[in-house]
Structures are given as structure tokens and as C-alpha cells.
């Protein structure tokens, strides 16, 4: 007698975009937009006692001796949402209950005037140091 499937229909892994995947996409896009003068970097924070996933999103400037500027941190459980986003540039923290809320908040952080000032400052410093 065949075993009865009690799981029902399982979602395919490709159907779900994790907050980590969304951050990685934006990190890659920063490199593309700046010709890799600036690079986005997403780093996982290991905590063996935690059941959550925690990542830092940094801007890396290889031409400035790999200078790193931390933009934000996200933390979420295995269910993916809610995700907590801590914005270090604008000094705020918020919780997002859906992918839509997360991408909306992430866009606000990445396109904020403060973040643009950081990017501008890094690009200006790289240009200044490369002229000498």
C-alpha cells in the first residue's frame, strides 16, 4: 500500500525570494552601477545560539584600502517575515511583515539623501586619491 502524502503541495524554493536574496541583488547592482568602484557586500553574522538569520549590508571601496561603510542590518526567522531592518545611516529601525514592505523600506534606505551622501563621499575620495 502506498504511503499517503500528508504534506500537501510544497512550495518550490525558486518561488520564494528571501530578504538575503534581495540584499544580494542590490549589492550586485551597486557594483554594476559604479563599475565596481564601489561594491555591495552582504555578510552573514554567525550566532550558534540564535535561530534567526542576521546579515550586514556594507559598501566596500577597494580603491580606499578596502574601506567599509556599514549601511544596514537585517534579521529574520526561518519563516522569512517579519524581517527587522536596522538602518545605520539614518539611525532608524523598522519591522516588515511582507516582501513588499521590505523592498519598500530597503528602497527608502538605499535611495535616502544620507546614503547618497555616503556614496558621493566615497566616490569623491576615490577620485581625489587616484589623481595623485
Q: How far apart are CA 103 and CA 105, in angstroms?
A: 6
Q: What percent of the chain has pLDDT over 90?
A: 82
In the chain, where the domains are located: 14-130
Q: What is the pLDDT of residues 76-132, one digit of tens each?
A: 999 999 999 999 999 999 999 999 999 999 999 999 999 999 999 999 999 998 876
Residue 35 has pLDDT above 70, yes or no: yes
pTM of the model: 0.87
| pLDDT above 80 (res 48) | no
Question: Residue 50 pLDDT > 90, yes or no?
Answer: no
Closest CA to 25 of 10, 36, 14, 40: 40
Please choose, from the candidates 21, 83, 24, 13, the residue with its C-alpha nearest in 3D space to the C-alpha of residue 54. Answer: 83
Amino acid at each position: 500500500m502506498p504511503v499517503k502524502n500528508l504534506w500537501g503541495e510544497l512550495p518550490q524554493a525558486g518561488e520564494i525570494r528571501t530578504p538575503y536574496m534581495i540584499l544580494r541583488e542590490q549589492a550586485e547592482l551597486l557594483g554594476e552601477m559604479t563599475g565596481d568602484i564601489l561594491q555591495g557586500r552582504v555578510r552573514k553574522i554567525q550566532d550558534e545560539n540564535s535561530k534567526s538569520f542576521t546579515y550586514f549590508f556594507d559598501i566596500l571601496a577597494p580603491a580606499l584600502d578596502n574601506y567599509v561603510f556599514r549601511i544596514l542590518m537585517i534579521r529574520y526567522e526561518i519563516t522569512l517575515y517579519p524581517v527587522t531592518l536596522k538602518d545605520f545611516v539614518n539611525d532608524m529601525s523598522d519591522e516588515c511583515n511582507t516582501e513588499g514592505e521590505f523592498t519598500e523600506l530597503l528602497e527608502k534606505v538605499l535611495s535616502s539623501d544620507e546614503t547618497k551622501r555616503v556614496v558621493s563621499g566615497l566616490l569623491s575620495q576615490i577620485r581625489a586619491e587616484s589623481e595623485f
